[in-house]
């Protein structure tokens, strides 16, 4: 069979002159939206063109075009945001976006609802805070995750230095971003170089075949879900120093329901690497995916498929040949006790951080809870550095112990609960954005999960299991942006109002779930789980979590238990 040629997006990238496209020209046009080609290129700049899906049909009936709007995703390595930058994002949310700020599952902020005419002003203001949106999305290395706990010690300082070096080495270098959004001037670099690629030495003109995700975890605490990344680093500590990293390759969650050749996969350990070798190893791994990743079929283009097609041994051999040396074997990894870093915690320098639960990462004011205002007041008054977590939560760090009561009082007076007041099933939950902004959503997620959690909480209470740390993750389609295939319970949208139930992962993120039931109506999700929770209560081993129980028993047996424990 003849080989398929490169996909259309490869062509768009190639012709874009290092991500320029004709974005600058289209920004000047009096239209509400961008051309298809520029929409693809804009993703590399951290911008998605969307439309408000709540009003799509009604507008169509009235003969109106969709209500076009942009989502902007910043790139915030390790999720660290200065108080000044936080206040800028807070203001931008009101001035140009839909009045809310969204903490994502990858430690950054998204703004939704920005009109085309306000894009430039918004991006400029973000950049003034030394935060870029380049690399927020697109076929390149995305925001690099790091455990956000602001512990002040030598080990963390070393980790943060490694993060900085990785970000420098793996970020796109094109001057197009600066040129389009900041200067307005064409900077040298659009012309094809004579030899090699002097503009994008790592990426070249066509960047990577697909998105590429990287995370740094600390051994013992997998709060970043390191196994779900294309490239993961697990830091090993020796005394108070960083000994090095176990490198993991080939993780990813994304599936496409009609394509059985797409699946979630956990990354495999491949080597142990010393801290001063991290950058060369990272660059070599990214280059392997750049050179061998599938550029004809985007549904097969993630590095996980390359590794499965060619084998881990091939991948390791290729890596060693690029590095010109043998790699040390990976160290055995130990997990247990994943920390969400919420509540009051000592930093080790006399100061404290307060980790706050943010339901689905959405920072906004509602009638019952004025979360956005409360955070703004705390940040303006006490100037904490903000750290975003990969569970869509937020840590207020560098707080003097003397302000503890005042901070709590502000939260209380705005109706914001402290983590201890939140039921575990809510605290450990996540939902992706889905409707009305996500163009790929086939079902609700962020807007639907509160009802599902309330129903589940009721069942758990009745069964005496309300204290169990069960992680529920909901996604509005099989792409799995809330990483539903590694939680205890995953609800994955299949069509409007219907979800697949996945079971068997855990809060440590070290196991994949299995598909338990398909196309369950939203309002029946909690009900369907009730017999399984009853079985868990009756049959669990000491200390066993719900996900571990489901994995031990197996999906087939769980289906039988559904009937066995069905009677209330």
Interface contacts to ligand SF4, rule CB under 6 A = 432-434, 438, 440-441, 445, 475-477, 479-481
* Other residues' Cβ atoms within 10 Å of the Cβ of residue 269: 18
**Total number of residues binding ligand SRM (CB under 6 A)?**
32
- Residue 302 interacts, among ligand SRM, ligand SF4, none and using kind-specific CB cut-offs from 5 to 8 Å, with ligand SRM
* Catalytic residue (choose from 147, 223, 432, 550): 432
If binding is defined by CB under 6 A, does position 48 make contact with ligand SRM? yes
Nearest CB to ligand SRM, comparing residues 122 and 468: 122
Of 88 and 101, CB closest to ligand SF4: 101
Beta carbon of residue 353, minimum distance to ligand SRM (angstroms, whole number)? 21
Question: Which does residue 252 touch among ligand SF4, ligand SRM, none (CB within 5 to 8 A, set by kind)?
Answer: ligand SRM
The whole-angstrom separation of Cα 488 and Cα 467 is 15
For ligand SRM, which is the closer residue by CB, 474 or 535? 474
Under the binding rule (CB under 6 A), the answer on residue 253 touching ligand SRM is yes
Annotated active-site residue 53? The verdict is: no
User: Is residue 147 among the annotated active site residues?
Assistant: no
Least distance to ligand SRM, CB of residue 236, Å:
22
Binding positions for ligand SRM, 265-324, rule CB under 6 A: 302
Q: Which is nearer to ligand SF4, 277 or 362 (CB)?
A: 362
Q: Which is nearer to ligand SF4, 86 or 109 (CB)?
A: 109
Would you count residue 104 as binding ligand SRM (CB under 6 A)?
yes
| DSSP code of residue 326 | P
267 is written with which tokens? 């990354």
Residue 419 and residue 271: Cα distance in Å, rounded?
38
Nearer to ligand SF4, 109 or 335 (CB): 109
Output the CA–CA distances (angstroms, integers) from residue 105 to 236, 323, 348, 360, 463, in the order listed.
Answer: 24, 33, 27, 9, 31
For position 437 contacting ligand SRM by CB under 6 A, the verdict is: yes
Per CB under 6 A, does 513 bind ligand SRM? no
| β-strand pairing of 430-431 with 472-475 | parallel
Task: From the list ligand SF4, ligand SRM, none, pick the one residue 437 interacts with, judged by a Cβ distance below 5 to 8 Å according to partner type.
Answer: ligand SRM
The one of ligand SF4, ligand SRM, none whose footprint includes residue 475, by CB under 5 to 8 A per kind, is ligand SF4
Report residue 146: phi and psi, to 5°: -145, 140
Q: What are phi and psi of 91, to 5 degrees?
A: -70, -40
Nearer to ligand SRM, 447 or 537 (CB): 447
Query: 365 has which bridge partners?
Result: 370
Q: 3-state class of 309 per DSSP?
A: helix
C-beta neighbour count of 546 within 10 angstroms: 27
Q: Which is nearer to ligand SF4, 122 or 482 (CB)?
A: 482
The residue from 106, 341, 414, 427 that contacts ligand SRM (CB under 6 A) is: 106
H or E segment and range at residue 233:
strand 231-238
Phi, psi of 221 (to 5 degrees): -130, 95
Which residue is catalytic, options 13, 43, 106, 213? Answer: 213
Q: How far apart are CA 535 and CA 512, in angstroms?
A: 21
Q: Is 72 in contact with 118 (CB distance < 8 Å)?
A: no
Residue 322 designated active-site: no
- Closest separation between CB of residue 70 and ligand SF4, Å? 16
Q: Please, which of residues 391-430 interact with ligand SRM by CB under 6 A?
A: 392
Residue 477: Cβ-neighbour burial (10 angstroms; 0-12, 13-18, 19+): buried
Least distance CB 307 / ligand SRM (angstroms):
13
R_g over Cα of the chain = 23
Q: Which residues are bridge partners to 143 per DSSP?
A: none
Q: Is 439 in the site for ligand SRM (CB under 6 A)?
A: yes
Return the one option of ligand SF4, ligand SRM, none that residue 119 interacts with (CB less than 5 to 8 A, by type): none
Q: Which residue is nearest to ligand SRM (CB)?
A: 254
Phi/psi-derived region of residue 21, left when phi > 0, alpha when psi is between -120 and 50, beta in every other case:
left
Q: How far apart are CA 464 and CA 456, in angstroms?
A: 12
Q: How far is the CB of 438 from ligand SRM (least distance, A)?
A: 3
Q: Is 106 a catalytic residue?
A: no
Burial class (CB in 10 A: 0-12, 13-18, 19+), 58: exposed
Query: Please, how many CA atoms are within 13 Å of residue 2, restricted to the half-sphere of its CB?
Result: 3
Q: Which does 477 bind (CB under 5 to 8 A by kind): ligand SRM, ligand SF4, none?
A: ligand SF4
Is 550 among the residues known to form the active site?
no
Q: Which residues does residue 231 pair with via DSSP β-bridges, in sequence order?
A: 214, 249
SS3 of residue 93 by DSSP: helix
CA distances from 475 to 373, 432, 481, 495 (A): 28, 5, 6, 11
Q: Can 211 be counted among the known catalytic residues?
A: yes
**Contact positions toward ligand SRM, by CB under 6 A?**
48, 50, 71, 73, 104-106, 108, 110, 142-143, 211, 213, 225, 228, 252-254, 302, 361, 392, 432-433, 437-440, 479-483
* Catalytic residue ranges: 73, 142, 211, 213, 432, 438, 477, 481
């Amino acid at each position: 069979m003849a080989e398929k040629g490169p996909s259309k997006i490869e062509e768009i990238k190639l012709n874009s002159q290092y991500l320029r496209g004709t974005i600058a020209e289209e920004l000047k046009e009096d239209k509400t939206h961008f051309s298809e080609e520029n929409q693809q290129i804009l993703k590399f700049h951290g911008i998605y063109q969307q439309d408000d899906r709540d009003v799509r049909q009604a507008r169509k009936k009235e003969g109106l075009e969709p209500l076009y709007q942009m989502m902007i995703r910043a790139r915030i390595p390790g999720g660290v945001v200065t108080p000044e930058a936080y206040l800028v994002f807070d203001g931008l949310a009101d001035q140009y976006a839909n009045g809310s700020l969204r903490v994502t599952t990858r430690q950054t902020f998204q703004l939704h609802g920005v009109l085309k005419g306000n894009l430039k002003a918004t991006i400029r203001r973000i950049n003034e805070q030394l935060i870029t949106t380049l690399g927020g999305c697109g076929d390149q290395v995305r925001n690099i995750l790091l455990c956000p706990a602001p512990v002040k010690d030598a080990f963390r300082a070393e980790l943060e230095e490694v993060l900085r070096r990785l970000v420098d080495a793996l970020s796109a270098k094109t001057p197009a971003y600066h040129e389009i959004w900041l200067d307005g001037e064409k900077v040298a670099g659009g012309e094809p170089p004579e030899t090699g690629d002097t503009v994008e030495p790592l990426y070249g003109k066509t960047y990577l075949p697909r998105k590429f995700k990287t995370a740094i975890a600390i051994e013992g605490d997998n709060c970043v879900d390191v196994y779900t990344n294309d490239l993961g680093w697990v830091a090993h500590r020796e005394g108070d120093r960083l000994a090095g990293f176990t490198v993991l390759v080939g993780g990813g969650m994304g599936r496409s329901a009609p394509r059985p050749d797409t699946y979630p996969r956990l990354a495999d350990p491949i080597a142990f690497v010393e801290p001063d070798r991290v950058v060369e190893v990272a660059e070599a791994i990214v280059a392997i995916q750049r050179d061998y990743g599938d550029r004809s079929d985007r549904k097969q283009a993630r590095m996980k498929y390359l590794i499965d097609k060619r084998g881990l041994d091939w991948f390791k051999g290729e890596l060693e040949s690029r590095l010109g040396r043998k790699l040390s074997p990976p160290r055995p990894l130990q997990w247990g006790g994943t920390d969400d870093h919420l509540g009051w915690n000592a930093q080790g320098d006399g100061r404290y951080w307060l980790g706050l639960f943010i339901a689905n990462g959405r920072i906004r004011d509602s009638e019952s809870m004025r979360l956005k205002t409360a955070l703004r007041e705390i940040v303006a008054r006490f100037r904490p550095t903000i750290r975003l977590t990969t569970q869509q939560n937020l840590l207020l760090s560098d707080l003097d112990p003397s302000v503890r009561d005042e901070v709590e009082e502000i939260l209380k007076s705005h109706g914001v609960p402290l983590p201890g007041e939140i039921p575990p099933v809510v605290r450990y939950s996540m939902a992706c954005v889905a409707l009305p902004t996500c163009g790929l959503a086939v079902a609700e997620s962020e807007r639907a999960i509160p009802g599902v959690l309330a129903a589940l909480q009721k069942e758990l209470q009745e069964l005496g299991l309300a204290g169990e740390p069960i992680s529920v993750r909901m996604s509005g389609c099989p792409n799995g942006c809330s990483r539903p295939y590694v939680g205890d319970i995953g609800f994955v949208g299949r069509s409007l109002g219907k979800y697949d139930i996945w079971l068997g992962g855990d809060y440590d993120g070290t196991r994949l779930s299995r598909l338990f039931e398909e196309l369950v109506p939203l309002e029946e999700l909690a009900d369907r789980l009730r017999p399984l929770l009853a079985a868990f209560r009756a049959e669990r081993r000491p200390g066993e979590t719900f996900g571990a129980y489901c994995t031990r028993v197996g999906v087939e047996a769980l289906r039988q238990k559904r009937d066995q424990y069905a009677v209330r």
